Chain A
Amino acid sequence: MSIIIDEKGQKIYKTLGYMAYEDKERADKLDDFLKKEVSQIEERLATDGLLDLKGKPGAVKLWFNVGLELRKLWSKVGRDFQLPDTLITIFLKAVYDNSRRMKPASSRAERLGNSLFYYCYLIAGLPWEMVEASGNWGEWSDFLDSKRIRDDPRIVNWFIDRKVMDYRNERKLTRHKWFKRITKVIRNDLRHIDTTVLEKNELYEKLDKILLEAVSK
């Protein structure tokens, strides 16, 4: 089980366990496959005019669509090349290494657990209307920078279920300022709490309190 990634300018085979020649052959095939697939994804994004949004207001639409493409690609690769779920961050790094036009400029793109492509992958699991209504790309990125939020998808579900963005009207805040405030309060209040041990109602109760705190402050 091997994936080719770039490490400091050198192509390396990232392998589960010792590498066998069979792994190398399969990794080479995967690399060729990714080159073609990523190029086609870029072509589609360009045709839809989405690549032009890179670095501009509204870029969240581009990254959401990148996320949708990555989800489809991961599902295909997982099936055809039998990659286990634990390799998703390395797979996304390989996609990044093979991309040209959709490659983000920021250095964070090269990271693993909190890379830009991983965030794209995560937000593409949410309804687009909600993503669009909630925040711009910078705001979403701040939100997902919290490992706590990334590790427990129920927090994002709560965010949608409770229509958290609607509460900005109560404080007469801009969308940007409200998103920033709620993100900060969630991150601070959950800093030392492992939410995964909480039942859904316990988690929602805790988050509701946090929301109340953010509204009343």
Chain B
Amino acid sequence: MTFETDLKSKKHGQTPVSWENLIATIIDQYYQYVVDISHAVQKDAIQNSWDARESDIYKWKVEFTWMKDSTSKKMFIIEDYGTTGLTGKILPEDEYDKDLPEEERWGRFQGLAFRRESTKALGARGQGKFVFVGASKNSRIIYDTLRDDGIYRLGVRTLGDIVELQGKEAEDLMRSYSPDLNPLTHVGTRVIIDDPVEELEHATKSGDFVRYIQTTWWPLLTDYKANIIVKADSKKWEVTSPSDMIFPSSDTKDLKVWTKDKLPIKRKSIKGLRINRLQICWNSKPVKEDIRGIAVVRGGMVVENIPVTDLLPSVDIELSKRIYGYVEGDLGVQYLLKKIEDPTHYKFGKKGGWGQKNIFGAIKDVVSGELQAFANEKLGLKKGTTDARDYLTMQEFNRIIKAIGLSFEGLGSGGGGGGGGGPRPKKLINLVFPLPKFPDPLRRVEYGQEITELQVKIVNATMAPAIVLLRIYTEQESFQREVILDKTFPPIPSRERASDGPFALKIEKSKYTDGKCSLTAKLICLDHPDYPKGQELDEVKYVFWVAQDPPFGKGPFRKIIRSSDVTDNIGGKVVKVDGKVVAHLGGGFDLIMNLDHPLYKEKCKNKDDEPEYVIELMAKKLPHVLISENLEPFKGVEDAEKIVRLSWSLYSEIMGNYYS
């Protein structure tokens, strides 16, 4: 008997799944990016529906309705028109293990996670439906569909438990759910979130939900005049593109615009990739926070907004509040973006293979360059822009040398900056503590300045109420400097949230010293059946710098100095050189670049050429740094021929990585 036949004859079981934890984990992933789960509800709902649209897109419509029926049952209904409905058959259990074809929409809506190969479809991994479950206080959704072949079907999901019915049985169960609802009579799909969370009720009634749709789907609303309706009690909104997201064809007194079409993206592996359109606009007044930055659009949906401060690190914070825009790639770019999109659809992956820059990074580079040009040419932003460009160039160089395995540990004033932000392990009682507003994008804070918009949200995704203590404090030199908040929250009911803030932190001269400082928010359990008193439930930490610039990271160069007189003494002869390196005070090296050298004049004919030239120059000068510090791959190497050979291969590797 072989192992396989032997194995088949044994009793088999399924891996137990804790649905409660699974849903909480998925919801927690969304809370990394949104402060209100309603935002994710609209995004996933419209995306699912748009993917199922029929060929006549002008018949497509989605209605969102918050209602209380005649039995006082609260519900949130998502109903679409002009779609195929949930096509496909009711599948036997074992078929859910397979990766179902896209036509099996019913099966896919029931199942856990499926890849999606179609480039036109927006959704990717099928986890969106669990947002609806997470937005229900009792973790229940009811969904029904009518197909064009007249088949009516109803499903009820309570956490992982599913009931699926067809025909009369389905119609009867639908009527018994609410006397005010009838089975669907038009082709399409309806999803009912039973007993929705308060956030959803508040967002719908206050109009926030409409704004969420506008700021996510304005390309769809503008280009296709998409028909989206929101209803709550007696109010009704027909969603239109947001009035503050406008791009005039030419500059006005209050608006300055920068439009670029068909911008090429440098990728060695795939030729001909382009940004179809980039539009950046400056408003004379600060714009609403939810449209600030440059939106990366894929398939009519805003996935991620790149903050202006990420694109121009030294930009004035007040200026960054006035800039908005978007970038949309061609089909090839959109295909590549989809592959690196987070399952929540709120973020793109930031790293390519082997530490290389991915398509998102390549887009960011182009946008950064254009934004710089816009700022220079139309906003008269001269001060600090060169520094910002140099900062990005050095970051890029540091990324490359890290990718090729060079280490500059111990070179002085290295060390990372920032902290926080990235995905964290998911907790059932967790803390959402978004990055606060620093007066400077590099997170440098001067004495007397304030860090503002400190806001927290506590999510209790467990099945029991929780009493928690929230501590927010700063630490410096291994010592707690200041306690900003030490607050015990009244019991947070199961599946509910609590919040506090916004508040501000002033960096007082009497409490802080120059240098690295951390801001920590920590959640401690005081009473819960599943956790002991004192249990540290969650923690979020951000690093900032008091009266000091953050280090550039673990790279060799600290500063780029531009000079018109750079010479070197070679064998007793003074020679004009393209650049050279000198020690930087406090560790590391400065690169002195000769602006009068013919090579600079030839290669830097316009402002966008300089970063590439600087990278190349740093690659050429890097052996000098490595030899003087006796670092690998030059450690102990004295043979001149070997030094030359190593220098050239290092140069080739750096430039190869840069262009790939």
**B-binding residues in A (CB < 8 A):** 1, 8, 14-18, 84, 86, 88-90, 111-114, 192-195, 197-198, 202, 206
Contact = CB atoms under 8 A, between A and B. Distances in A.
Contacts of B3: none
A88 B479 contact: yes
Contacts of A193: 532, 534-536
B536 A192 contact: yes
Nearest to A12: B514
A197 B447 CA distance: 32
A112 B510 contact: no
Contact of A14 (B513, B522, B533): B513
Q: Indicate the size class of the contact surface on chain B.
A: 20 to 34
B573 interface: no
29 contacts: A8-B412, A14-B513, A17-B509, A17-B510, A18-B447, A18-B509, A86-B479, A86-B480, A86-B481, A89-B479, A112-B478, A112-B479, A113-B479, A114-B478, A192-B535, A192-B536, A193-B532, A193-B534, A194-B534, A194-B536, A195-B534, A197-B469, A197-B524, A197-B526, A197-B533, A198-B533, A198-B534, A202-B533, A206-B534
B335 interface: no
B547 interface: yes
Contacts of B547: 18
Nearest to B481: A86
Given A8-B412, A17-B508, 8 more contacts: A16-B512, A18-B447, A18-B509, A89-B479, A90-B477, A111-B478, A192-B536, A193-B532
B607 interface: no
Nearest to A10: B586
A190 to B, nearest CB: 8
Nearest to B587: A8
A198 B525 CA distance: 11
A177 B373 CA distance: 68
A89 B511 contact: no
Contacts of A111: 478
A112 B447 contact: no
Interface SS of chain B: helix, strand, loop or mixed?
Answer: loop
Contacts of B533: 197-198, 202
Contacts of B509: 16-18
A64 B610 CA distance: 61
A17 B447 contact: yes
Contacts of A113: 477-479
Contact of B510 (A1, A8, A192, A202): A1
Given A89-B477, A112-B478, A114-B478, A16 B536 contact: no
Contacts of A194: 522, 524, 534-536
A139 B444 CA distance: 41
A162 to B, nearest CB: 19
Nearest to B522: A194
Contacts of B469: 197
Contact of B514 (A1, A15, A88, A198): A15
A37 to B, nearest CB: 22
Interface in B508-548: 508-514, 522, 524, 526, 532-536, 547
A148 to B, nearest CB: 10
Nearest to A19: B514
